[in-house]
A and B are shown apart, each in its own frame.
Chain A
Amino acid sequence: MGMRLVSLALLIAAWYVGSQLAGARLLPDPQAVALAIVDEARSGALAFNLGATLARVAVAFVIAMALGSLIGLIMGRSRIADRLGDPWLIVLLNLPALVIIVLAYVWAGLTETAAIAAVALNKLPIATVTVREGARSLDHALDDMAQVFRMGAWTRLRHVVLPQLAPYLAAAARSGLSLVWKIVLIVELLGRPNGVGFEIGVAFQLFDVTRILAYALAFIAVMLAIETFLVQPLERHVARWRPRPA
C-alpha cells in the first residue's frame, strides 16, 4: 500500500513537471484537471456521461461473455462444432474493431443496438477462444464420476464444469472488461450523442486537453473501483477452496 502511494505521488510529480515543460495548452497540470472534474461533476454532466458509458460497457460485456462462454464450451467439447466454428473465429479475431463498428453503424444505423452489438462482437471471439481452451482441459475423470453417480445436467454444469472453467472465465472477464470499455469509447465517438467517448470527441474538436484528461481519469477511476471491489473479491471467492501456500 505504501509503495503504491509513493508510485502515485511520483506519477503526479512527473505530470506536473511535464506540464511545466510542455505548457498548459498541451498538458494542463494536475490541479487544472482536478478542477475540471469537479466542474463537470457539479453540472451533472460527468455522472450522466459516465452512467451512459458504464451501461453500454455492462450490457456489451454481459452479452459477449455469455455468448462467448457458451460457444467456447460447445466448441471445446465437440470436435464437429470446433471445426465448423473455427474459421468464423479466425475471421472475427482478425477483423479490426473499427471495421466491425463502421459496418454495424452502416447496416443498423446510428442506434444503441448497433453500438452494443459492435462492441459485443469485438469481444466475443476472445471470450470464446479462452473458454474453449478451458473446456478442452476439463478433467475426464470427474466427468466419469458424475456419470456414474447419475448427476443431472444442472448439477454437472454448476459443480463439475463451471469450477474448472472459473480461471478461464476470470481471465476472459478481466481482459474483456478492459477491451470492452476501450471499444465503447470509440463507438461513442463515432456514433452516439452522449457518453465519455462522445465528450472526448467534442473536447478533441475544441482542442480541450483538460476536458479530455478529466473524463479519461474519471473513467479510469471507476474501472479501477470495479476491479478492486467487484472483480478481485469475486476471484477470491471462487478460489476459496485452493489450499493456501503455508
Chain B
Amino acid sequence: MVATIGAATTSAASAKRVEERSTVVIRFAGDSGDGMQLTGTQFTNESALAGNDIATLPDFPAEIRAPIGTLAGVSGYQLNFSSGRVFTPGDDPDVLVAMNPAALRVNLADLVDNGILIVDTDAFTKANVRKAGYDSDPLEDPSLERVSVFKIALTKLTSQALKELGLPNKTVVRCRNFFALGLCSWLFTRPTEETLNWIAEKFKKAPQLVEANTLVFKAGWNYGETTEAFHSSYTVAPATGIEPGTYTNMIGNKALAYGLMAGAAKADKRLFLGTYPITPATDILHELASHKELGVITFQAEDEIAGVCSALGASFGGAIGVTTSSGPGIALKSEAIGLGVMVELPLVVVNVQRGGPSTGLPTKTEQADLLQALFGRNGESPVAVVAPCTPTDCFMAGYEAVATAIRYMTPVIVLSDGYLANGAEPWSIPKFAELPSIEAKFWTQSQGFHPYLRNEDTLARPWVVPGTPGFEHRIGGIEKDYASGNISYDADNHERMSRVRASKIERIAEDIPPARVEGSDTGEVLVIGWGSTYGAITEAVAQLNAEGIATGHLHFRWLNPFPRGVGSILKRFKHVVVPEMNLGQLIRLIRDRFLVDARPITKIQGQPFKVRELVEPIRALVEASK
C-alpha cells in the first residue's frame, strides 16, 4: 500500500477528488453484536472534532443479544453532520452502512435515491440472507439500482489485515466494524488521530486488541484511499453560525448527570442518588457512580420505591435527594412523590421516558408520561415539571431542577426521553463559576419556628435538618395545620393547605423565562411543542417560513407551571398545532387552559418526528383553510 493514514490526514494529499457537501446523514446498521453503537459514536466524535454541527439517533433493540442475523437484532446509529446548524438526526440517510442482510432489509427503504450503500458482502451468506427474510440475494436485486452500491468483502479484508497477529476467527470478525469506521473516516475526510488515541485508551487492558483495531481501522481508511472502489471522497466544512466557545460531544443522560452534580455543588450540598436500574435511565446512575471524587453518593436500592424513599430521607437530612427512572419505575414511585409533596422537601425525580404502557418499548423514545408526571398521584398533588429540549439542554434542566427543588421545597420532575438520553450534539462547555447561583440555607433562625412556616415570596417551608438543636419537629404524610404544622384533619385547613401547595408551584413561573416565539412572531400557524421534539419542530418551522407560511414555534420547557404570556401569543396565530410523541397530552392542557381549537400531530412509533412528518400536515392544514 502506498498512502499511509498518517500522511494523508496531515497533508490531505489524496490523489482522489474531494467533493464538498454541506450536510450528510449517515446510518450505521448491523447486528447488535457488530458494534454499531461504538462505530457511530466514534464517527460522531470525529465529526464533532471536524467542527461540524451534529445530531444523532442511536436506535437499538431491547434484547441484549437478539438471535444473530435476525431483523429483531438490528442495531442502528444515525448521525447528521453539517457545515450549518442541525437540529435533528436527519429524516433519511444519504449513506447507509449495512453489515448484514437483516440490516439492509430494515434500513434500505430509508436510504435516499442516489445514496451511498456500503455492504459487507461476506455477511451475505445463504443462511443470513434467509434469516433476513429474503428469498434471494438482495445484492443482485434490481431495486438497488436507485442507489450507489459499494460491495466490499469487509470480513475478508479485515482478516487479511490481521493475518500476522494469529487471532482467533471470532476476534477477527469482531474487529470488522473498525474497517467500516476507517473507510467512512476516509470517505468523509474525518480527522483520525483522536480515534487512534481512543482505540489505545479503550482497549488498553488488551494490548492485542489495540493493535488489531488500529490495523483494521487503517486498513479501512487505506482501502478507500488506494483501491479503485471509490472515485472521490467528501468533506463537510466546519459549521458556521455556531456560538464561539469550547465544545465537546455530549449525550443527554451524561449532561443530565453533570447538571445534577453541578446544581448540588453550587448549592453546597451533597448529591444523593437513590435509584434502581432501568432502561433508558441507567446511564445516569453509571455516570454519577463514577464521580465519588465529587462527593456524590449513589445508592442502588432494592427497588424503585426504595430509590425514591431513600432520596427523600437524604433530603430530610440535608442532601439533594435525586431518583432516576423511566415510566414503569415512576409509576412505582408515585406514592413517595406524593409524600414529597406533603412533607415539602427538595426532591428531583428524573423520568427518561420510553415507549409504554407497562414494559412497552424499553429502548425506544416516547413522550407519553406527561400526564403521569402532572397528575399521576392520589389527591391534589402538584409538582414542578421541566422537560429538556435537546441532549445538551439536559444539563441545565437537571441544574434548574435542583435549584427549583431547593428554592420551593418541592419535588421536581425532569421529563427527558430515550431520544435525548442517548442522542449526541456539541455542548458549549460552561464555566462552573458562571452558572447561576443556587442559595440553599438551612433554617437556623430562632424566632417563631414551626415546620410549615412559609416564605412570603415562594411559599416554601423552612428546611430544618436533624442535628439542629431547638427545632426538633415531626413531618409526615398526614395533613398539617397551616398555623402550627401539627397534624390536622380540619376541613377548612385541608382546603387552605391544598391551595397553598398549588400556589407554591404556580409561583415558580416568576423564576422561569416568559413564553417566547421562535420563527414568525405572528401569522398562520403556531406550533407548540415540549421536550425532545424541539429540533424537529425548529427545522419544520424554518422550512414552512421559507415556503412563505408564517409559522411560529412556542416550546414549553416547563410544563408545570406554564410560562407566563402564552395566552397573548395564541391570539396572534390563525391555527395552533401541537405535535407530540403520544396520542395527544399537552394538547389537552392547552385546550383546557386557553380554550383554543388546537390540532394535534401525533406519532407513537418509538421514533422521533421526521421533519417532513411535521411540515406536510401543517402545509395541508393551511391549504385546506384557504
Is B truly associated with A?
no
Which B positions have Cβ atoms within 8 angstroms of A?
Answer: none
Which A positions have Cβ atoms within 8 angstroms of B?
Answer: none
